Structure 1
């Protein structure tokens, strides 16, 4: 993708980070970057906690980091506020350049790539979860529920026809 190439042209590898939370969107992005990770032997760091805390820790440990690649899409709760694939963080965040190559992608686009390229993803998606968050707020999506002879099961996330229903796999806190 052009915006990834632009970032790789403009910044050295020790200035670039990838935010990965294990979800389908970040899995797509990680797959896109896998070649670079293998080729350049990129260091992987795990920074647990909410994204803002992870980015703060990252900037403390690696102050040279500028762009952070993220798997946000425009249909995500915070993605809808982004005007382009590459933007600086808001003033209440640590200063990094957010790079969201899949910002314009749909729910179906994500699944088309994951399934089309046989990319491994979190097994919860095969159990009817369509949007992963905290354990207390993540549930199988009722749109994928099938009840037969008193048994309840859920179809895989990739069978959800309407991407606008993706967040029905979350419950309010």
Structure 2
């Protein structure tokens, strides 16, 4: 929480800092960390507002539960949500001189070498990624959400542990219990988190 506050306050104009929010469990943790940190901002900078952006790939078959959750949770907490109907790589170009708080973890594909603050680019367009939960484990994510009784997408209670699109995501077979599936937080073998994903 304080890391997010300090790094955004000292390096960036808060009006150009966005939470990249996709409704997944990791993103929800980043959402609440930034939401808490924003209260600290409001005592220092009058009128501080939390901003989120949802990059919605129009070609992807998204879960309706994810889309509904994104709108419900941002509305509940009064977050200014901007929906960009494009993939991240193209959509980010509409945010000049901006920085994005992400829910990336080092165990995620392509994230092993990420640093807490990363300069990124999309062609000639440059931006910053802020990664506050890089070193969190799957267990850490669920400990945080459950301890503070925070809402998350209901798909996780149906056995989904890593959510992509309808076409590449299934309940995790390691959570199968008879004819149903246990909730995602019941997974004890964290290395099987992505067994919810179907290889295309």
Answer yes or no: same fold by TM over 0.5. yes
1:114 aligns with 2:109: no
Tell me the TM-score normalized by structure 2: 0.75
Matches within 5 A, 1:48-127: 48-57=85-94, 59=95, 63-65=96-98, 67-82=99-114, 84-89=115-120, 92=123, 94-127=125-158
- CA displacement at 1:41 relative to structure 2: 2.7
The alignment partner of 1:89 has SS state of strand
Instruction: Say if 1:74 and 1:80, in contact at 8 Å, map to a contact too.
Output: yes
Q: Deviations over 1:52-109 (max 9, x none)?
A: 233123x2xxx131x2110000111121231x21111256584211111000100000
Instruction: Say if 1:133 and 1:170, in contact at 8 Å, map to a contact too.
Output: yes
The alignment partner of 1:98 has SS state of strand
**Mean Cα deviation higher: 126-135 or 73-82:** 73-82
- Give structure 2 stretches of 5+ with no counterpart: 43-47, 51-79
Instruction: Say if 1:71 and 1:102, in contact at 8 Å, map to a contact too.
Output: yes
After superposition, the Cα gap between the structure-2 partners of 1:92 and 1:106, relative to the gap in structure 1 and judged at 3 Å, is farther
**Mean Cα deviation higher: 114-123 or 72-81:** 72-81
**Mean Cα deviation higher: 131-140 or 32-41:** 32-41
- Give structure 1 stretches of 5+ with no counterpart: none
Q: 2:176 aligns with which of 134, 141, 145?
A: 145
After superposition, the Cα gap between the structure-2 partners of 1:153 and 1:29, relative to the gap in structure 1 and judged at 3 Å, is same
Name the counterpart of 2:14.
Answer: 13
Name the counterpart of 2:186.
Answer: 159
Name the count of aligned residue pairs: 163
Q: Deviations over 1:128-153 (max 9, x none)?
A: 00001011001100000011xxxx10
Tell me the TM-score normalized by structure 1: 0.86
When the two chains are superposed, the root-mean-square deviation of aligned CA atoms in Å is: 1.9
Instruction: Say if 2:157 and 2:182, in contact at 8 Å, map to a contact too.
Output: yes
Question: What is the alpha-carbon distance in structure 2 between the residues aligned to residue 72 and residue 156 of structure 1?
Answer: 22
